[in-house]
Amino acid sequence: MDGRNIKRIKFGSFQPDIGVLLELKPEDFTPVKAETPEERVPGTENGSYRHAVWMRFKKKKAATAAFCVLVLIIIFAFAGPIFVSYGYDEFNSGAENLFPWHYSLEDQAVLDKAMGSTEDRLSAALNKAAAEKGSALSSIESAKIKAESDNPFTDMSKIARENNIHKKPFGYSLGELERKAAGEKVFPHVFGTDKYGRDIMVRVMIGTRVSLLVGIFAALLVLFIGTVYGLISGFSGGGVDMVMMRFVELIYAMPDMLVILLLSTVLKPALINYQSSGEGVLQSLVGLLGPNLIAMFIAFALMYWVTTARIIRGQVLRLRSQEFITAAKALGAGPGRIVRKHLLPNCAGQIIVTACLEIPSAIFLESFLSFLGVGVAAPMTSLGSMTSDALSGIETYGYRLVIPALLLSVIILTFNLIGDGLRDALDPGLKMKGEKL
Amino acid sequence: MAKYTLKRFASALVTILFVICVTFLLINSIPGGPWTSDKNPSKATVEALNEKYGLNKPPIVQLGKYLENLAKGDLGVSLKMQKNRPVAEIILEKFPVSAGIGFFALLWSLIAGIFLGSLAALKRGTWADSLIRVVCTVGVSMPSFVIASLLLTAFTGKDGTGGVFPVIFDFSLGFKSYILPCFALGLYSMCYIARQTRASMLDELSKDYIRTARAMGLSSFTVVFSQALKNAVIPVITFMGTDIALVFCGGFVVETVFSVPGLGRYFVQSIQNRDYPVILGTTVFLAAFIILMNFLADVLYKAVDPRIELTKGDR
């Protein structure tokens, strides 16, 4: 560059003197020393945005704890079945209706002796009641006593208490106890078994797996649709935006549970027809997942994207008028580049938080539908269908209901807490203003 | 205000019409029609049945006919569950039961939710606040069927019905049998309302008029419950529209669990039995009800706080 054309001294200007800059040589530079904490410019500690978010997230005790619990649940659901030697749909004959506890073989022998046969117990109970009353029993009274003695478990625990026999944890059938006594290795039924002799712990693991996967995939589907819709609507603006948002309002005003229940009913026969129509890839996919689950995915995708779309549209509208977008436009960036390079990365926070709040609502919905019998089809299981199955034996086998029901609540709770924590960490200025969910 | 109300009403009507059309066309697109799950009727029988119920005409004509009948209050007749009984009559019989339970569930959740939320804001940072927040966070994470089934486990007596509260709904027992279903239905709303009230109350408490009131010597209790509360419950009103939908849809499960002879349980049964006119009629009725309630909540919201500008696409 010709030195004469450069103004050497620009009076009153703070611009660096380009001539001086051009004449700088490598020797003029010295390496920067590692800065001490005191020298750092405030607010730039620890570098990247991602790191700052992570630090803020770690400070939220509830969210971190929820994250750890969720990791444990995921390990339980995905690695657990490897260690348990029973299949989730395996009927263990002779091990039906086991409780999550057992009596040792010797104790069981004592109990059996003390209890006697069912008829003995019934006549003993009848005689005792008659003796107490002092006269013969009416037919209603004897029927009542008969009904009570039909449930051997109440008597058994009473006798066990009288004989000072304690329950041991985990369920074993008598046959399994004998094999164990003979030195064989027998895996315990930690949560007992159901009426077909299926191991409940394995079923809970598989059910958790199904619930988690369904939740995550449904949420991804909804996120994708909602994000694309919101981006287009917010970015286009004007008449397009208005029409698109009218449609969102229309879907938003429809009662979602009602429509989803209806859709899953309507879609099921159509999907069964489709499944038997040929041997293509899509047909086998329907066969693999079951028509109920596919119907649920479709219904969820049709109804739940509106929340995401509204959030993303709002964010895009806020960003669209900012200087850096104008700058990008001025530099000749096309709409595709602006969306990809500028809008999407700035929506990432919102997208992640929405995902964390959509997953529990998908899990919730799956369990709701399974509970009503229009969800996951047998022999596959989910936490919702296990809860629903357990309702019939609730008086005696309450644990079968409590375990999946509580696990389901814990999963939803952890996702909610993580979502709340992430929202605060990503955008400390934004506090709960009562969005949906 | 009148203009806004009219506009909202028109859009509610459009939504209802949309739901009716979509539902009708969906139900009509089910392959095989309503007769398939019977013991394989002969072709002639199916044709005769289709002729009788007008199912052989093109869908658009059927839809027009359905809308025309709907305007007269005729929702068709049940095909399977209560053969030939008008659907409208069934709904009129079942709906009051659901509405009764829904009403009490809403009532207790509203009162308890607003009270607990205000209390948490008043006692911010204390153990009472933490306790309420924990309970409410857990409460919004429990699906209504989990709450209902856990209640069922806890209150089922040895003979299946006993215990303090009856787990099987029975009109003859009066209000006692309302307690468990109402509790299960209202718990989620109660927790949600409490969280919402707490957040908006904290917002409200940081404002100038509250400081003035405190400076004039009013106790913090009086300030919270007589001054700030009026403004803090406004956001709760918006939730009421959604909440009514939640309560009535949650009713599907809760009514099934507690054997309440309401519309929710009947709807679930009609789905399991594939009684299409009943499914259609119930969906249309419930959807219209929920959308109208949403409309009322919106209008009320605007009436309570005229400052609120409700713009397009933003509620």
Q: Is A401's CB within 8 Å of B150's CB?
A: yes
DSSP B136: H
> Which pLDDT does position A6 carry in this prediction?
46
> Which pLDDT does position A137 carry in this prediction?
65
Domain with residue B123: its CATH number is 1.10.3720.10
Is B131 within the bounds of a domain? Answer: yes
DSSP A49-115: HHHHHHHHHHH-HHHHHHHHHHHHHHHHHHTHHHH--S-TT---TT-TT--SEE--HHHHHHHHHHH
> Which pLDDT does position B259 carry in this prediction?
81
Higher pLDDT, A433 or B190: B190
Chosen from B29, B153, B201 to mutate, greatest number of chain A CBs within 10 A? B153
Q: How many domains does chain B have?
A: 1
| pLDDT tens column, A366-397 | 888 888 877 777 677 888 888 887 777 666 67
Round the CA-based radius of gyration of chain B to a whole number and report it: 24
Higher pLDDT, B273 or B173: B273
**Which of A141-150, B27-36, B65-74 is predicted most confidently?**
B65-74
- Phi, psi dihedrals of residue A189, rounded to the nearest 5°: -90, 90
Q: Please tell me which of the candidates B14, B149, B312 has its beta carbon nearest to residue A387.
A: B149
Query: Virtual CA dihedral for B74, B80, B85, B87, nearest 10 degrees?
Result: -30
Instruction: Indicate whether A246 pLDDT > 70.
Output: yes
CB neighbours (10 Å) of residue B175? 8
Q: Is B150's CB within 8 Å of A402's CB?
A: yes
Residues of B with CB below 8 A from A368's CB? 143, 145, 253
Instruction: Indicate whether A260 pLDDT > 50.
Output: yes
Average pLDDT over residues A332-347: 82
Going from the C-alpha of B10 to that of each of A163, A252, B281, B291, the distances in angstroms are: 75, 16, 22, 12
Instruction: Indicate whether A272 pLDDT > 70.
Output: yes
Domain that holds residue B298: 87-314
Asked if residues A170 and A190 have their Cβ atoms less than 8 Å apart, the reply is yes
Which of A33-37, A40-44, B5-9, B196-200 has the lowest average pLDDT?
A40-44
Q: Distance (Å) from the C-alpha of residue A424 to the closest C-alpha of chain B? A: 14
- Average predicted confidence (pLDDT) for chain A: 74
- Point out which residues pair with A189 in neighbouring strands: A171
Distance (Å, rounded) from C-alpha A387 to C-alpha B148?
11
Q: What percent of chain A has pLDDT over 90?
A: 0
Going from the C-alpha of A52 to that of each of A38, A43, A56, A67, A229, the distances in angstroms are: 19, 10, 6, 18, 30
Average pLDDT over residues A273-298: 74
Is B233 within the bounds of a domain? Answer: yes
> Which pLDDT does position B138 carry in this prediction?
86
- Phi, psi dihedrals of residue B25, rounded to the nearest 5°: -65, -35
Q: Distance (Å) from the C-alpha of residue B106 to the closest C-alpha of chain A? A: 17
| pLDDT tens column, A299-317 | 888 888 888 888 888 888 8
Residue of A nearest to B295 (CA): A253
Query: Virtual CA dihedral for A85, A86, A87, A91, nearest 10 degrees?
Result: 150
Asked if residues A228 and A301 have their Cβ atoms less than 8 Å apart, the reply is no
Q: Distance (Å) from the C-alpha of residue B218 to the closest C-alpha of chain A? A: 28
Is B61 within the bounds of a domain? Answer: no
Is B27 within the bounds of a domain? Answer: no
Q: Is B138's CB within 8 Å of A374's CB?
A: no
Angle ∠(A418,A422,A423) on CA atoms, nearest 5: 120
Is B295 within the bounds of a domain? Answer: yes
Q: Would you call A199 helix, strand, or coil by DSSP?
A: strand
- Average predicted confidence (pLDDT) for chain B: 79
Q: Please tell me which of the candidates A372, A401, A405 has its beta carbon nearest to residue B252.
A: A372
Q: Distance (Å) from the C-alpha of residue B196 to the closest C-alpha of chain A? A: 6
Higher pLDDT, A138 or A260: A260
Q: What percent of chain B has pLDDT over 70?
A: 86
Farthest CA pair distance, chain B: 86
Size of interface A-B (CB pairs under 8 A): 148
Q: Please tell me which of the candidates A270, A384, A437 has its beta carbon nearest to residue B31.
A: A270
Q: Distance (Å) from the C-alpha of residue B216 to the closest C-alpha of chain A? A: 30
The conformational region for residue B125 under phi > 0 = left, psi -120 to 50 = alpha, else beta, is left
Q: What percent of chain A has pLDDT over 70?
A: 65
Distance (Å, rounded) from C-alpha A97 to C-alpha A119?
22
Farthest CA pair distance, chain A: 130
Instruction: Indicate whether A43 pLDDT > 60.
Output: no
Quote the tokens at residue B31: 């392959």
Asked if residues B298 and B311 have their Cβ atoms less than 8 Å apart, the reply is no
Chosen from A154, A256, A258, A431 to mutate, greatest number of chain B CBs within 10 A? A258
Average pLDDT over residues B76-104: 82
Under the banding of pLDDT at 50, 70 and 90, the label for residue A431 is very low
Which of A95-109, A130-144, A147-161, B202-216 has the lowest average pLDDT?
A147-161
> Which pLDDT does position B112 carry in this prediction?
92
Residues of A with CB below 8 A from B11's CB? 249, 253
Distance (Å, rounded) from C-alpha A401 to C-alpha A393?
9
What lies within 8 Å, CB to CB, of B189 at 6+ separation is B105, B106, B109, B110, B113, B243, B246, B247
Is B148 within the bounds of a domain? Answer: yes
Reported as half-sphere exposure (CB side, CA atoms, 13 A), residue A211 has a value of 35
Distance (Å, rounded) from C-alpha A163 to C-alpha A157?
10
Distance (Å, rounded) from C-alpha A236 to C-alpha A232?
6
Work out whether the CA dihedral B222, B227, B232, B233 comes out positive or negative. positive
DSSP B172-205: GGTTHHHHHHHHHHHHHHHHHHHHHHHHHHHHHH
> Which pLDDT does position A237 carry in this prediction?
77
The crossing angle, in degrees rounded to 10, of helices B234-257 and B144-155 is 50
Q: Please tell me which of the candidates B196, B199, B249 has its beta carbon nearest to residue A257.
A: B249
| pLDDT tens column, A193-209 | 776 767 778 888 888 88
B297: Cα separation from own chain's centroid: 13
Is B42 within the bounds of a domain? Answer: no
Q: Distance (Å) from the C-alpha of residue A292 to the closest C-alpha of chain B? A: 13
Is B244 within the bounds of a domain? Answer: yes
Asked if residues A216 and A355 have their Cβ atoms less than 8 Å apart, the reply is no
Q: Please tell me which of the candidates A148, A151, A409 has its beta carbon nearest to residue B142.
A: A409
Residues of B with CB below 8 A from A266's CB? 26-27, 29-30
